[in-house]
Chains A and B, each alone.
Chain A
Amino acid sequence: MLTALKIFFFCFFFLFANLNYVFAKDIFVGKGEKHLTAASALKAAEDGDRIFIKGGYYSECPIIIDKSVSIIGIDNPVFDALSKDEGFIIRADNVTIKGITIQNSGISYIEDKAAVKLESVSNCVIEENILLNNFFGIYLSKVSNSAVKKNRIKASNLKETASGNGIHLWNSNNIIIENNSIEGHRDGIYFEFVKKGEIKSNISYKNLRYGLHFMFSDSCYYAGNTFKENGAGVAVMYTKKVTMTDNLFVDNWGSASYGLLLKEISDSEVYGNKFTRNTIGLYSEGSNRVKIYRNDFNQNGWAVRLMANSVDNVFSKNNFIGNSFDVATNSQQHYNKFINNYWDNYKGYDLNKDGKGDIPFRPVRLYSMIVANTPTALIFLRSLFVDVLDVAERALPSITPKTLTDEAPLMRKRL
């Protein structure tokens, strides 16, 4: 009898404890439903439930999610934080937020107030949401194995200090950021202490500072993103084993604006990217052993600016077309390698018809060294005198680095 009772209770508890998963409920929120607010639905919900929120205007932020639920918007419900507080704060694993508009998270100079904030959780998905005029957009702190997909994030602050980042990751790992568009934040995508992130097919544009900004984030993979018209372009720093491929860096204009700034990046690869119409296409400072190949540098002010503290980088098979300056540097010493690139300024010949020029190309012009020291001299760009100087310097190099040459430049553009 006792044993039977034990079994009965065991079964009962087993059933009860797992009931939530077996019979996950769907809860509806909205006009005419049992729950008028998301908060009351959350109170009633249990782990594994789905909460459907109908279209309408909800001003009940902040909403703290401490259960593993999915929150799904139907007909675009709008959550307004009324410029005071945060939108959604997620403190449970396995949470999904989908199809919701969140707007007006408050600006704070002490706290990082966000539209969606994830704190110390894993396996969460934030997708297909619209985030408007928030301080921070999506904020992940100590998060793992999660995804941020297909969100449209837009802000319109004018000052860097009064603006947060579109997608902000801190101390997280295994995160996928995919197909988002971010506009008008401070930094479009910001990473600090992130491991194994995948950033794919995002568009980050017109942000006040950087389109993409990361530090101490090793082994991350960036592919197919577009970074356009950001205040200072893209800056990546203090990181190892980064792969950047098929990204577009376009129209980043300004005195301190770069298509891509590599600062102390090592053992990384940058290939198949397009750098178009930036003040400086690629700026490398203290970066070592980076392989830069098969990129297109078109119509930049400076295609590549390579500081002398960058060592053992290899530039190969890149196209340099229509740039005002191909390569600029700050020293006569230099320890990087350029090989088999196509330079539209190359005037050599190819007698043995192997597709590679027989005389080396010197991509650093004397004039670019002069401009580095005397920036005002830029006003003589394309002056006959400067061209004459350059020809003389190319014939008998004395000021430009002697070793910075492409020994076998391509005769035709790499397709």
Chain B
Amino acid sequence: METILKIIKYQLRDVLRSKWLIAYLLFFLLLTYGLFRFAGDDSRVIISLMNVVLIIIPLVSCIYGTIYFYNSKEFILFMLSQPIERSTLYTGMWLSIAISLSVSFIIGITVPYLLLGQVNVQNLYTFALLAASGILLTFIFSSAAFLVAVTNSDKARGFGISLLLWLFYAVVFDGIILFTMISFNDYPLETPALIATLLNPIDSARVLILLKLDISALMGYTGAVFQKFFGNMLGILIAIFSLILWIALPFVTGLKLFKGKDL
């Protein structure tokens, strides 16, 4: 545990020095500031932010995670020549990436919000939900990126796969499910739709936030079904549990592969 912390500490210092992360922080700062400044209504700001969070965070986590892993190849080889367990190193590296990305995201959106947004209970809840989804998505997609990097030694190939991974979950998955739904229009689709949402972390995060934002649209008949599921504590717990599973699954697989990998 102590070694993990040490690795995280070192890695964080390393990551924080990179221009990427500063650009990422500035991006969120400027975006949120601009939105609060010019979009007017706070709920519209959160809607726009949500779109960015659901698209940009997985994309950056995916790409940055893979790049980072490939670029640290010498570092990994060097570290493993020391008496350090592979799992410790892997965990430490992954955590430092996920934490540093999350921290810049949180700072980037919170500072403008506290300066310009209306801080009230309703807003704060939606905002916290947005921030939490952002953090969870960072952890999910960086662990997926590590898995991709571990399984592919070729840099270009791994990079391409992690981009495809992002494209699949951000766009293609929804398309497939939507067209399946339209084809099976005559059947009751609420439960399959719910399961489909849990199968895609971006969708789970989106629906969780939507239930706070577009509540009036979702209160239609089908909406009521989703509201019942995601609106009560059990549904939220299941959704969060599935998101955590989405973090754990790629991480554990990646770790296992990394342990047996011939570097």
Closest residue of A by beta carbon distance from B189: A376
Tell me if A381 counts as interface (CB < 8 A to partner B): yes
**CB under 8 Å from chain A, chain B span 220-261:** 220-224, 226
Q: A361-398 vs B: 1/0 string, CB under 8 Å?
A: 00000000010011111111111111110000000000
**CB under 8 Å from chain A, chain B span 21-55:** 41, 43-44, 47, 50-51, 54-55
Bound Cα distance A300, B223 (Å): 14
Q: A382-B210, A383-B206, A384-B55 are in contact. Are A374 and B218 (CB under 8 A)?
A: no
**CB under 8 Å from chain A, chain B span 109-141:** none
Return chain A residues, CB-CB under 8 Å to B193.
376, 379
Identify which of A300, A301, A322, A377 contacts B218 (C-beta below 8 A).
A301
Q: A373-B182, A374-B189 are in contact. Are A278 and B216 (CB under 8 A)?
A: yes
**CB under 8 Å from chain A, chain B span 183-200:** 185, 189-190, 193-194, 196-197
Binds B, one of A63-71, A125-133, A252-260: A252-260
Contact A384 B170 (CB under 8 A): yes
Contact A381 B214 (CB under 8 A): yes
Binds A, one of B1-9, B69-77, B173-181: B173-181
Tell me if A273 counts as interface (CB < 8 A to partner B): no
Tell me if A123 counts as interface (CB < 8 A to partner B): no
Bound Cα distance A74, B102 (Å): 68
Return chain A residues, CB-CB under 8 Å to B216.
253, 277-279, 299-301, 324
Bound Cα distance A254, B41 (Å): 25
Contact A385 B220 (CB under 8 A): no
Contact A379 B214 (CB under 8 A): no
Interface size of B in residues (CB-CB distance below 8 Å): 40
Contact A378 B220 (CB under 8 A): yes
User: Could you say which of A255, A302, A383 has the most chain B C-beta atoms within 10 Å of its C-beta?
Assistant: A383
Bound Cα distance A254, B181 (Å): 23
Contact B219 A255 (CB under 8 A): yes
Contact A379 B170 (CB under 8 A): no
Return chain B residues, CB-CB under 8 Å to A375.
220-222
Contact A386 B174 (CB under 8 A): yes
**CB under 8 Å from chain B, chain A span 321-337:** 321-322, 324-325
Return chain A residues, CB-CB under 8 Å to B194.
379
Return chain B residues, CB-CB under 8 Å to A380.
174, 177-178
Return chain B residues, CB-CB under 8 Å to A301.
214, 216-220, 223
Contact A379 B55 (CB under 8 A): no
Bound Cα distance A373, B183 (Å): 11
Identify which of B172, B174, B218 contacts A378 (C-beta below 8 A).
B218
**CB under 8 Å from chain B, chain A span 341-376:** 344, 370, 373-376
Interface size of A in residues (CB-CB distance below 8 Å): 34
Q: A255-B224, A322-B43 are in contact. Are A381 and B171 (CB under 8 A)?
A: no
Return chain A residues, CB-CB under 8 Å to B171.
384-385, 388
Contact B175 A385 (CB under 8 A): yes
CB distance from A367 to the nearest CB of B (A): 9
Closest residue of A by beta carbon distance from B218: A378
Contact A254 B219 (CB under 8 A): yes
Contact A255 B174 (CB under 8 A): no
CB distance from B181 to the nearest CB of A (A): 5
Contact A299 B174 (CB under 8 A): no
CB distance from B106 to the nearest CB of A (A): 22
CB distance from B175 to the nearest CB of A (A): 5
**CB under 8 Å from chain B, chain A span 152-181:** none
Bound Cα distance A379, B190 (Å): 9
Contact A386 B206 (CB under 8 A): no
CB distance from A298 to the nearest CB of B (A): 9
Return chain B residues, CB-CB under 8 Å to A388.
171
Q: A374-B181, A377-B182, A388-B171 are in contact. Are A279 and B203 (CB under 8 A)?
A: no
Contact A378 B182 (CB under 8 A): no
Return chain A residues, CB-CB under 8 Å to B55.
384
Bound Cα distance A281, B204 (Å): 28
Bound Cα distance A378, B221 (Å): 10
Return chain A residues, CB-CB under 8 Å to B144.
none
Identify which of B174, B218, B222 contacts A385 (C-beta below 8 A).
B174
CB distance from B229 to the nearest CB of A (A): 10
Closest residue of B by beta carbon distance from A257: B219
CB distance from A201 to the nearest CB of B (A): 26
Tell me if B97 counts as interface (CB < 8 A to partner A): no
Bound Cα distance A375, B225 (Å): 11
Closest residue of B by beta carbon distance from A325: B217
Report, nearest first, the 9 A-B pairs whose CB atoms are least far apart: A301-B217, A324-B217, A385-B174, A255-B221, A301-B216, A376-B189, A375-B222, A253-B219, A324-B214
A interface list, Cβ under 8 A from B = 253-257, 277-279, 299-302, 321-322, 324-325, 344, 370, 373-388
27 contacts between A and B (CB under 8 A): A253-B216, A253-B219, A254-B219, A255-B219, A255-B221, A255-B223, A279-B220, A301-B217, A301-B220, A301-B223, A324-B217, A370-B178, A370-B182, A373-B182, A376-B189, A378-B222, A381-B210, A382-B51, A382-B206, A384-B51, A384-B174, A385-B171, A385-B174, A385-B175, A385-B178, A386-B178, A388-B171
